[in-house]
Amino acid sequence: MNKQRLKAWGFPLEKLFVAAGPCSAETEKQVLATARALAGHGLGFFRSGIWKPRTRPGCFEGVGREGLAWMDRARAETGLKIGTEVAEPSHVEACLEYNLDALWVGARTTTNPFSVQAIADALRGTDIPVFVKNPMSADIGLWIGAIERLANAGLTRLAAIHRGFSSSLEMRYRNAPAWKIPIELMRRMPDLPILCDPSHICGKAGLVPTIAQEAMDLLFDGLMVEVHPDPPHALSDAAQQLTPEQFLSMIDHLERPSEKSNDATFANHLSKLRENVDDIDSQMLELLGKRMEVVREMGRLKTQQNVSTLQPGRWKEILADRVRKGIGLDLSEEFVLQIMQSIHEEAILQQEADRVEGAE
Ligand code: PEP
Ligand code: MN
């Protein structure tokens, strides 16, 4: 939990850190109306896109520099801090001129190390807080690489934003949450504050509160949420933006679980259950070790007979059988497939290693 770090960087912090505001600045009136509706609620910063990375040309591509003047006016009037997305050095220069309080690097930009490096170079010598969104694809290396490029340019106020990953599969969400990736980022960079952007994960306003709550349950430090005074008429991301009222009610209703509890009965019960889990894990590992021994023996037998390591027919049967059994045990098909595929991969590696060793 690194939300105190965000506070140390000068951002207001109440129940949680939230950056909120429209996907895009559209008119001065819209920027001011949204900022007024959000002022006085402990917002971390007011967000608004000025240069919009659109998938296809001809869509609304943002109002450009003029929008910075509108945001600056909104800040002067409401006292809110302000932040926007930068995708190239000219954006950085304009934002520094207007003395923005925060910047973020968008998902499309994080995907491209050349762009991230150019932004990092343009920021050298400043220490403005920069929030780095995950890349479009589920590649944690690219995400960490972008953060490292900014850190190497001397920036110390860095944070991450999880906005989901694009996928070719039909799904409920616009971008797959794939929580294991931000959780792995928390493990690898424990001092890095991390926000969740439920708007871009969901793609639909109605789903946003559920994903926001899930982020709270997973101990994210805060949120970035798209809020528009008239979502159906928004010039970008109309389906996913909340009205200020919907946003404030969502924040009010979010439960913020803590990592620990001092209740002795709870602690006792939890520690018994944890012992159980530890035991089961030991048994699983011992069984896996035994299974690998049998697999290696099978490998030696196959080598003697000059039979191939991979036996596609048998593998197909195993998968179908284990998925059927797994489903009977309340395990999902996807989970059983993942586990069995990992086990099979290791089995083949071990049989092959023996085969090579035997031939030497
Ligand atoms: C945005 O925040 O409006 C945006 C374009 O987000 P992303 O980079 O996550 O797509
Ligand atoms: Mn958007």
Beta bridge partners of 160: 132, 194
Among 197, 250, 117, 346, which residue's Cα sits nearest to residue 354? 346
Domain spanning 264-359: which CATH class is it, in words?
mainly alpha
Q: Which of 18, 23, 88, 241 to mutate to test the pocket of ligand 1 (most atoms within 8 A of CB)?
A: 23
Distance CA 193, CA 221 (A): 6
Beta bridge partners of 17: 222
Q: Which tokens in the block code for residue 103? A: 């910047």
Domain spanning 3-253: which CATH class is it, in words?
alpha beta
For residue 197, give the ligand 1 atom closest to its CA. Answer: 9
What is the chain's alpha carbon radius of gyration, rounded to the nearest angstrom?
Answer: 25
Which residue's alpha carbon is at the smallest distance from atom 10 of ligand 1? 107
Q: Which of 197, 228, 240 to mutate to test the pocket of ligand 1 (most atoms within 8 A of CB)?
A: 197
- Distance in Å, CA 113 to ligand 1 centroid: 17
Give the model's pLDDT for residue 165. 97
For residue 109, give the ligand 1 atom closest to its CA. Answer: 8
Burial of 117 (C-beta count, 10 Å sphere; 0-12/13-18/19+) = middle
CA 183 to chain centre: 8
Give the model's pLDDT for residue 8. 94
Give the model's pLDDT for residue 59. 86
Ligand nearest to the CA of 49: 1
Which residue's alpha carbon is at the smallest distance from atom 2 of ligand 1? 23
CA 318 to chain centre: 35
For residue 161, give the ligand 1 atom closest to its CA. Answer: 9
CA dihedral 147, 148, 151, 152 (to 10 degrees): -150
- Local confidence pLDDT in tens for the 360 residues of the chain: 798 999 999 999 888 999 999 999 999 999 999 999 999 999 999 999 999 988 788 889 999 999 999 999 999 999 999 999 999 999 999 999 999 999 999 999 999 999 999 999 999 999 999 999 999 999 999 999 999 999 999 999 999 999 999 988 778 999 999 999 999 999 999 999 999 999 999 999 999 999 999 999 999 999 999 999 999 999 999 999 999 999 999 999 999 988 888 999 999 999 999 999 999 999 999 999 999 999 999 999 999 999 988 889 999 999 999 999 999 999 999 999 999 999 999 999 998 888 777 776
Distance CA 157, CA 175 (A): 27
Give the model's pLDDT for residue 360. 67
49 within ligand 1 shell (Cβ under 6 A): yes
Give the model's pLDDT for residue 308. 87
What is the chain's percent helix, strand, coil content, to nearest 5?
55, 10, 35
Q: Do 6 and 159 touch, CB atoms closer than 8 A? A: yes
User: Within the chain, how many helices (H) and strands (E) appear?
Assistant: 14, 8
163 within ligand 1 shell (Cβ under 6 A): yes
DSSP 134: P
Ligand nearest to the CA of 110: 1
For residue 164, give the ligand 1 atom closest to its CA. Answer: 9
- Distance in Å, CA 145 to ligand 1 centroid: 19
- Distance in Å, CA 23 to ligand 1 centroid: 8
| Residue 121 identity | D
Q: What is the pTM of this model?
A: 0.87
Q: What would the DSSP string read from start to end of 146-185? A: HHHHHHHTT---EEEEE--B--SS--SSSSB--THHHHHH
> Could you tell me which residues come within 8 angstroms of residue 66 by beta carbon, excluding any fewer than 6 positions away?
none
Tokens 């008119």 label which residue? 27
- Distance in Å, CA 215 to ligand 2 centroid: 19
Please report the beta strands in 72-174, taking only residues with DSSP state E, as ranges in sequence order: 82-85, 102-105, 130-133, 158-162
Give the model's pLDDT for residue 31. 98
Distance CA 179, CA 162 (A): 9
> Which residue ranges make up each domain of the chain?
3-253, 264-359
Q: Which tokens in the block code for residue 139? A: 């590649």
Residues with CB under 5 A from ligand 2 (ion): 23, 237
Distance CA 96, CA 314 (A): 63
